[in-house]
Amino acid sequence: MMRCGFAATAAALFAAVILTACGGKQQWQTTNITGVMPDLKFTLTDGNKQIEHAGAYRGKIKLLYFGYTHCPDVCPLTLATIGRALKKIGPEAKQTVVLFVSVDPKRDTPDVLKQYADAFGPQFVGLTGTQSQLKALAKRYRVSYSYDKPDAQGNYAVNHSGAVFVFDRDGKVRLLMNRTDGADEMAHDLKQLIES
């Protein structure tokens, strides 16, 4: 019985090695969502106050994340993890762009967003838009956002998606990452996308 188990494990391992050696399908360490969501498309504003369409980043690997700058924990943690992943990739990281879309346009003016995005590295771009532009983009990727009631000082928390959507050079959706994925896993998959 025991022997049988060993034999089966060995056979499975052997099969896995053969598959990998034959360069079968690409192995992903984050979640492969190829084909399950529409191509990247939006109308938003960036720190230079221009309207950006997804086409502006054609040819780059695009990472899309929804957040807001008055988020002291999860948003910078996610962006910092992406930043570490990009550092691991090295010079090829120039072929990526991280689109940080603020769903809090009331506080996140283009100037605030530019300053914020710049703090994470040259690949980071802060975008925002009108409520209808933001809602359209959120709906496209089946995420939502909402605002908590302001406290006595007028501060409010924003509930937002924790997901990072990754699109290839042509804007096709490929991967879903989140902050529990490590920088190593992100770097592995982004490098694989850059080189494919």
Partner 1 sequence: MCKSSVLLLALCTLLVAPVFAAAPITVSGAWIRLIPGDAPCGGYLAIHNNTDKPIELTEVSGPDFKRIELHHSMGAGGMSHMTPVKSITVPAQGEFSFSPGGYHLMMWRRNKLDVGQQVPLTLHFSDGWTVRATFTVKGAAG
Angle between helices 183-195 and 74-89 (to 10 degrees): 50
Nearest-approach distance from CB 58 to partner 1, in angstroms: 27
x-or-dash pattern for partner 1, window 173-192, by CB under 8 A?
-----xxx------------
Evaluate whether 145 touches 103 at the Cβ level (below 8 Å).
yes
The span from the CA of 46 to the CA of 52, in Å, is 7
The answer to whether the Cα torsion of 175, 91, 57, 132 is positive or negative is positive
Distance spanning both ends of the chain, measured CA to CA: 44
Which of 69, 128 has the CB closer to partner 1? 69
Evaluate whether 44 touches 127 at the Cβ level (below 8 Å).
yes
Which of 53, 87 has the CB closer to partner 1? 87
29 binds partner 1 (CB under 8 A): no
- Site stretch for partner 1 (CB under 8 A), options 8-16, 46-54, 132-140, 172-180: 172-180
160 binds partner 1 (CB under 8 A): yes
x-or-dash pattern for partner 1, window 120-139, by CB under 8 A?
xx------------------
One-letter amino acid for residue 27 of the chain? Q
Instruction: Tell which one of 79, 103, 125, 127 touches partner 1 (CB under 8 A).
Output: 79
Assign 32 to helix, strand or coil.
Answer: strand
Binding site for partner 1 (CB under 8 A): 69-74, 76-77, 79-80, 83-84, 107, 112, 115-116, 118-121, 144, 148, 153, 155, 157, 159-163, 178-180
